[in-house]
Amino acid sequence: MKNSDFIKSLTVLMTGTLIAQFVGYALAPVISRQFSPAEMGEFGMFQRWVVLVATIATARYEFSLPLPKRDEHSFQLYRLALYSTGVTLLITFIGFLVYGLYIQKVIDFATWALLLVSSIAALVFFNLGTNWAIRHKQFKQISISKMTNSLGLNVSRVLAGFFHLGKWGLLLSFLLSLIIGSSHFVKDFFHWNKKPRTSVSRKKMLRLAKTYKDFPLINLPHALSDNLREVLVALILIEVFTEQIFGSYDHTFRMLRLPVMIIGASISQILFNRISSFRLEKKMLMPTVSKVFLSLLLLSLIPFSVIYLYGQPLFVFVFGDQWLESGTLSEIMAPWLMLNFISSPLTIIPLVLEKQKTFFLISISGSILQVGGFLLLPHFFQGHQDGMYSVFHIVTWTQVIVAILTMIYIISIIQNEDRKNAAH
């Protein structure tokens, strides 16, 4: 029965996510011809800031929502994350406004900051709503939310390109898509917000915050290292190379990570619920994880092999001549992003098994190698004809090693958990 529930839930989520992925890929050739690599690079930079600040805003308490036994306790954590977000958004807006005044571009930065805090608020609500839906196994709701989010993003980007709105059109499209995606969770939020049992209790909120303190103390630094790495890599590539090179890198990363963000995220959400339940019931975890790992491996082999062998001509044909550089980078980065696709859904396991400290050290090592590689290696390849590509080759294979070590660690902690369960 449990296996059939898992497959049914996964099918519901995967249906929506595959439709969302199809929309993204179908419209990508149109969008890539409407915007330059530099404009897409500016959008990529904005998106990275949104994700970074949204991560700080909730202190990662959104991932604790499926864990409490009682709904009213979980909803207090929901509120805690929203209060924390409100404070963070106020500080962020004032900070960017002051910076705009300092560089005498107050109107541009005020507009940019307003779009930023609005996008962060929508993303936070989207993430909280998703995890609340995971708690109640409302996977159909998550699926519809993802479909409308993807449809809203890609259709609005096409329209922004048609009206030649440039980078501002891309930023507005991103905000619109988050609002559309998060709107599916509004009714549920207000329904629970009105319940007497979930009324505001500061004492209860603080007690629960302390109970689930590992999320801000351990999981937050882990997530920050990942997101801060993405911001630093963007800044370094723009500074060391050009905004256009970063735009090409970002396009490659986005296209090859789309399966991770859509398919991988769906599997991760189901797996989180599944592993949490099995742990409470003292059941074996390895059979489920092995099936997920094998499925991801088989799912990734053909597409990433094709990219590795024919990425450059494929990108030029699909996205246009201006993305030739992006195609070259796709061939180089394919092994890295294939392993990222396989390992990404499994990274929730240390979170559930409360093994985040060691996992954080592995993650931070990968971040240091990636940022350090992009920062230092260009100095060793100055004057070389293919120096930039050599930098990307070395960074790629260091990340491949980190991904393999990550999977080995995850397997080891699952085996330890299963041995403990078998001994009871």
Grouping H, G, I as helix, E, B as strand and the rest as coil, residue 284 is coil
Can you tell me the mean pLDDT for 300-305? 91
DSSP tally for the chain: helices H, then strands E: 17, 0
CA distance 247 to 46: 12
User: Is 171:114 a contact under the CB 8 Å cutoff?
Assistant: no
d(CA 228, CA 210): 26
How many CB atoms lie under 10 A from the CB of residue 290? 12
Taking alpha carbons only, the member of 332, 295, 297, 294 closest to residue 312 is 332
**pLDDT tens digits, residue range 27-44?**
889 999 999 998 999 999
Closest alpha carbon to 127 in 223, 60, 192, 208: 60
CA distance linking residue 128 with residue 130, whole number of Å: 5
Whether 407 contacts 343, CB under 8 Å? yes
For the chain, which residues make up each domain, given as ranges? 15-210, 213-424
The pLDDT mean for the chain works out to 87
Average pLDDT over residues 296-305: 90
Q: How confident is the model at residue 1 (pLDDT cuts 50, 70, 90)?
A: very low
- From its phi and psi, is residue 383 left (phi > 0), alpha (psi between -120 and 50) or beta? left
Q: Please indicate whether residue 168 or residue 283 has the higher confidence score (pLDDT).
A: 168
| pLDDT above 80: residue 262 | no
Can you state the angle between helices 106-135 and 37-58, rounded to 10 degrees?
Answer: 60
* Residue 170 banded pLDDT, cuts 50, 70, 90: very high
The predicted pLDDT at position 424 comes to 63
> What pLDDT sits at residue 23?
78
Distance from C-alpha of 263 to C-alpha of 423, rounded to nearest angstrom: 35
* 383's tokens: 């004057």
Weakest-pLDDT range from 101-105, 142-146, 380-384, 388-392: 101-105
The answer to whether residue 418 scores a pLDDT higher than 80 is: yes
Cβ contact 414:285 at 8 Å: yes
- The structure tokens 């404070």 sit at 87
φ/ψ of 86, rounded to 5, equals -55, -45
Q: What is the structure's pLDDT at 397?
A: 95
Q: How confident is the model at residue 259 (pLDDT cuts 50, 70, 90)?
A: low
Closest CA to 191 of 133, 139, 241: 133
Taking the CA atoms of residue 63, residue 65, residue 67 and residue 73 in that order, the dihedral angle to the nearest 10 degrees is 150
Can you tell me the distance from the alpha carbon of 358 to that of 350, in angstroms, rounded to the nearest whole number?
A: 9
Indicate whether 6 pLDDT > 70: no
pLDDT, one tens digit per residue, over 355-389 is 777 888 888 888 999 999 999 999 888 777 788 99
Asked whether the beta carbons of 391 and 376 are under 8 A apart, the reply is no
Q: Which of 112-126, 176-190, 288-302 has the lowest mean pLDDT?
A: 288-302
Alpha carbon distance 383, 389 (integer Å): 13
pLDDT exceeds cutoff 70 at 75: yes
Helix or strand or coil: residue 165?
coil
Query: What number of other Cβ atoms are within 10 A of residue 265's Cβ?
Result: 18
- Please give the residue that has the higher pLDDT: either 295 or 1: 295
pTM (predicted TM-score): 0.79
Query: Tokens 């559309």, residue?
Result: 180
Instruction: Provide mean pLDDT across the span 141-160.
Output: 90
Alpha carbon 136 to its chain's center: 22
Lowest mean pLDDT among 163-167, 199-203, 212-216, 361-365: 199-203
- In this structure, how many other beta carbons lie within 10 angstroms of the beta carbon of residue 203? 8
Six token digits for residue 103:
């560089």
Query: Which pLDDT score, from 0 to 100, does residue 83 have?
Result: 93
